Structure 1
């Protein structure tokens, strides 16, 4: 098989998997529950919304008013050859036209402000909800999908609020006012307009479902493109390391091609839908000319002036139909975006703190596992019957082969997950009966792959204790005996680091995370392979500080290095989710042999 054929087959397989992963529930566009929920976001801005509705109402009256005034001038002063009357009507027309532009200006301004406010609140709620979801959600949800909800889907909602909603109200209002004038001028002739309704209904029904499906496919395909892009950027080292650039480019190209095809499908459907609406209106207008002329010239059932005024209003009645057709497409896009955003907002976590959960008081650090079982997938347990006790201030080393359950134990201590069965107690308090924030405020965590945020080194250390002053941060770094390493940088602790800590060496990033934990001063400390990426020289400098950090704190250390676990009070050896050996103050030889096994 050639490289290109392999890439194509890989792309096809990848696309199949991703489409299966990205499958969503059926979307029901323009449901009132969805519209009312979106409109609920305008309630905090009731005054602005009400002023906007007033301007929309005025705007829907103004264009028919201008048309009526034009018809009135022709059938009035012009017919009577009254130049003074024409002049006065012209002044009135100019004043009304000026007011029309002023109303349009303030309507657009308020609509933009209201849309921005709604989008701000929607993004705020979405982010606040996301950061409270448990780890299991992020294990099963692709990053690109989350980004797509927060960006493109919310932007579609913005368009819906700022443009579609109020433009549609203006156009519908204009049609209603024009219809009222048409009935006033010639009610019999208006019957011809009513014949337009069945054909409009048929056209809308035919394209409604097709456009809904196509627009939803566009958004889902964009979500896949975003997800793949995010994965490619995050995994660029792997891509280049395994020379996968061309293969991954093929996969991405296939996704982009799919997205383009869905966009083209929407364009084709709109290219048929909108002209059909316009053709329908023009044919109806032609029928009005024929019937109106017949009533004036043959039956004498209508006055010429009334028919002319009627046709003016008919033009004002038909022109919004095409506009509304285009707005309808945008409304479907906005509602599809809102549906996806609200579906994410409605995502219920696998578990959450019970309503009766109380605050965990200040603890000494006694941790007990009582016959704990756990599995990320309930059908595949990773911990079975875990039972141990760590006294206050003790250091517990967790050793074992990869996948034995070491990190799962620390995840349960931090309550990132709930045990399937059994109990975990801290100072006698069942973790199922305390709030997660009150527990985590007393826990410090240092991981092998630590995350640093964009900002200064100082800000990243202060992340462990936001209220800490600069002097307190410096003291935490000094206690680790690594202040000189950071002061040697161009701006010292004020040195800017990029996303994920770019600009710092791996060892420097780990030291920042050690300092972060030191500053937080937790009662329980979790070190998950925390020194595995630190070189021997750097490790020698942090070992003494690490001993100081561990002193007086209950610590759980996941590591393979003997230097990290040799001072542990307990060593628990795990295999296949079970504790197969436990030792207190082990000898170096025993510890080494067990850990390697």
Structure 2
């Protein structure tokens, strides 16, 4: 392989955020609009008052224009000073009322938009929390963040501005058109000639903008996905000196996003001036026709009516560019709505049945009956896997990487469901059990520990929110590592930082042990739980765990044979199949795979 080929391969392996075109739907989908509008139902009273202010606002502006035309046609034409003063006074009162109505229209729209956006975010977060583990393994974090941030913000604009501003402008155009028809029906026919031209312009740019906006949103999702992973993986990046390469990749993505943004802006820049130019041409045409008719000797055209008509014509054409802007924002909001509702409509691959059993007195008996499992169709991970664990037994899972150890834990925890076969807890098919109730009686400590932002005590209380400070401290005493936590600046009230960065790896793992144990679990799962702890601390922890594991069903995944020796039974896995099982001593006497692993361990 040439050097150039190697460089290309390296770059391809790093640049994993490939473009993922999402299903293309109509940019203005009235089903989406009605669904979004349904989120305003809990706020029916302010929403209805908002609609009232919209109706009043759409009447007020034509009324102001009509009043000016009426004063010109009446008092000014008749040279009546008192009439002019009276008309000016009424105009001022009406103008003040328009500002008052505008204030409340904007205020109510902002409040309604904020309420709808808050509910959307709550619904989205609640839906994400209900998704099974497989969905999180298949979905990029950046795309989820993009839905929650940029897409929701686009919908905020759609609710706060697009809908109600458009209603005001449309109402203003309808009233202006009615007044123009009343002033001069012949000139109004020229205005009607504008409709097919505007329709053609809209249709042309409708398609261009819909594609451009979707491309822009997709590119932004790629940026957020890459940024999220780059921040989380910064240690690996710096360890392998990949800063320059990753920066170049991000630069490519940023330029890609910039190009799509530029396309959107250019399309906007063509769309709006065309609408405005079209309006000005029609006003000029009406001016020529109206003036020509007024100059005819037999004409019945009243100059005052002509003035009023042109005032109303300006009022009719002015909203067109505003509606053009709102139309662009509406398509952006629709693109966001498509993506957001697509996520909300993604059903979990499985849910607990409505009559799910809640085991209040969990004993801890676990049975696998001919279990087969596949993460991907056609690639089996467990094959006809069967075993039974009695309550209180400690089971060690041994095997090479990819043999199925973590999969067994995922199935026992009901993070995944078996493809075929059954997993039983206390004789109940796990598919019929309540996942939440089961998890409340389980404790899990993983190799990749995770701490939330907060204090040590707050992280431990995830296992038991009602635990007192004394109970939290007692758990560390039981684990024989209270002195390690007490050495922290503020003890159990020490902030751990984001993802626990202010603590050592071993301290983080001890907190995870305490979090699992404070729940008083009947089933305990330890997945390489001591691999991040030094040998001295592990020795102390093993003595404490021997007492704590007594009476609890425990599954232990470990490469260290010191962790496995005390297990009641060892299950040896190979490519998803159970090839050996027994106690440590029994498997050594069998002189099979486990004995070979043991010999390699003691020879190191």
Match of 1:348 in 2: 347
Calculate the TM-score normalised by the size of structure 2: 0.96
- After superposition, where does 1:413-452 map in structure 2 within 5 Å? 413-452=412-451
Match of 2:409 in 1: 410
* Range 583-592 or range 139-148, more displaced: 583-592
- After superposition, where does 1:39-438 map in structure 2 within 5 Å? 39-298=37-296, 300-438=299-437
Match of 1:499 in 2: 498
Q: Please state how far the C-alpha of 1:6 moved relative to its aligned partner.
A: 7.0
Q: Please state how far the C-alpha of 1:357 moved relative to its aligned partner.
A: 2.6
Where 1:496 maps in the other structure, the secondary structure is coil
Q: Distance in 2 between matches of 1:361 and 1:300?
A: 93
Q: Label 1:563 to 1:397 Cα distance change in 2 as closer, same or farther (>3 A).
A: same
Q: Label 1:385 to 1:8 Cα distance change in 2 as closer, same or farther (>3 A).
A: closer
* Range 437-446 or range 453-462, more displaced: 437-446
Structure 1: tracts of 5 or more residues without a match:
none
Task: Verify the 8 A CA contact 1:52 1:110 in the aligned structure 2.
Answer: yes
Structure 2: tracts of 5 or more residues without a match:
none
Q: Please state how far the C-alpha of 1:489 moved relative to its aligned partner.
A: 1.0
Q: Label 1:404 to 1:8 Cα distance change in 2 as closer, same or farther (>3 A).
A: closer
Q: Distance in 1 between matches of 2:574 and 2:227?
A: 37
Task: Verify the 8 A CA contact 1:573 1:594 in the aligned structure 2.
Answer: no
Q: Label 1:127 to 1:575 Cα distance change in 2 as closer, same or farther (>3 A).
A: same
Q: Label 1:423 to 1:253 Cα distance change in 2 as closer, same or farther (>3 A).
A: same
Q: Distance in 1 between matches of 2:455 and 2:5?
A: 47
Q: Label 1:40 to 1:364 Cα distance change in 2 as closer, same or farther (>3 A).
A: same
Q: Label 1:237 to 1:13 Cα distance change in 2 as closer, same or farther (>3 A).
A: closer
Q: Distance in 2 between matches of 1:565 and 1:91?
A: 93
Q: Distance in 2 between matches of 1:526 and 1:439?
A: 13
Q: Please state how far the C-alpha of 1:10 moved relative to its aligned partner.
A: 5.4
Q: Please state how far the C-alpha of 1:78 moved relative to its aligned partner.
A: 1.1
| CA distances 1:180-213 after superposition (whole Å, capped 9, x unpaired) | 1111111221101000001001101111111000
| CA distances 1:280-312 after superposition (whole Å, capped 9, x unpaired) | 100111111011112211251411110100000
- After superposition, where does 1:456-471 map in structure 2 within 5 Å? 456-471=455-470
Aligned residues: 595
Q: Please state how far the C-alpha of 1:23 moved relative to its aligned partner.
A: 2.4
Where 1:384 maps in the other structure, the secondary structure is strand
Q: Label 1:180 to 1:493 Cα distance change in 2 as closer, same or farther (>3 A).
A: same
Q: Distance in 1 between matches of 2:4 and 2:174?
A: 60
Q: Please state how far the C-alpha of 1:361 moved relative to its aligned partner.
A: 3.4
Root mean square deviation of aligned Cα: 1.8
| CA distances 1:203-228 after superposition (whole Å, capped 9, x unpaired) | 01111111000001100000000001
Q: Distance in 1 between matches of 2:31 and 2:14?
A: 36
Q: Label 1:443 to 1:585 Cα distance change in 2 as closer, same or farther (>3 A).
A: same
Calculate the TM-score normalised by the size of structure 1: 0.97
